[in-house]
A = this chain, B = another copy of it.
């Protein structure tokens, strides 16, 4: 039935939006990627074609919303991890270590696999996929940054932002490499490779923080 809303209009509007998103997710799941037309989506969602564009500016926006959805669960877990950690002294190294620890504990392989499929895997145009993928990571970075700022109000905002951006963009890079591995990357071997790539990233970034001796 209808979600709790002040009135039926609002509820129906939300329901229609939800149906569009649900239909898109179902079609992606069935086809292994965004291989469907607006007409198919509208029919599956049981709305008029024009209605799809009443809710979303483009098909890409729908896919991005779905990526956000997939990411939401992960980021919530992520932030729970961050929030349950002891608050450090807010130094640059401490913030760095904290973010690294939570990145390591997050099931990023699963999230990347899911997002890759949503965005078309190896079948979509590279430029489009890259742009969408970048948007996904940008959103993750924003959220993480908000949390860091909340936890370390005395930390230099610019330094925090640079730290977060460095790590998230690094994650974006290794995600691309990891996603290019052949076969089922969600098995033990694939996950081990992910950890190896992640260690490379963190070592590389951490080396940038150590005082030169």
Quick check: is A48 within 8 A (CB to CB) of the other chain? yes
CB distance from A21 to the nearest CB of B (A): 19
For this complex, into which size category does the number of interface residues on chain A fall? Answer: under 10
In angstroms, Cα B48 to Cα A59, docked, is 32
In angstroms, Cα B134 to Cα A29, docked, is 58
In angstroms, Cα B42 to Cα A2, docked, is 14
Q: Which B-chain residue is minimally distant from A2 (CB atoms)?
A: B46
Partner of A1, one of B1, B2, B8, B46: B46
Chain B residues within an 8 Å CB radius of A2? 46
Within 8 A of B (CB), among A1-59: 1-2, 8, 46, 48
CB-CB contacts of A67-89 with B at 8 A, as 1s and 0s?
00000000000000000000000
Q: Which B-chain residue is minimally distant from A43 (CB atoms)?
A: B1
In angstroms, Cα B48 to Cα A146, docked, is 42
In angstroms, Cα B8 to Cα A48, docked, is 7
CB distance from A99 to the nearest CB of B (A): 47
Chain B residues within an 8 Å CB radius of A8? 48
In angstroms, Cα B8 to Cα A8, docked, is 20
In angstroms, Cα B48 to Cα A8, docked, is 7
In angstroms, Cα B8 to Cα A77, docked, is 42
3 A-B pairs in the complex with CB atoms less than 8 angstroms apart: A1-B46, A2-B46, A8-B48
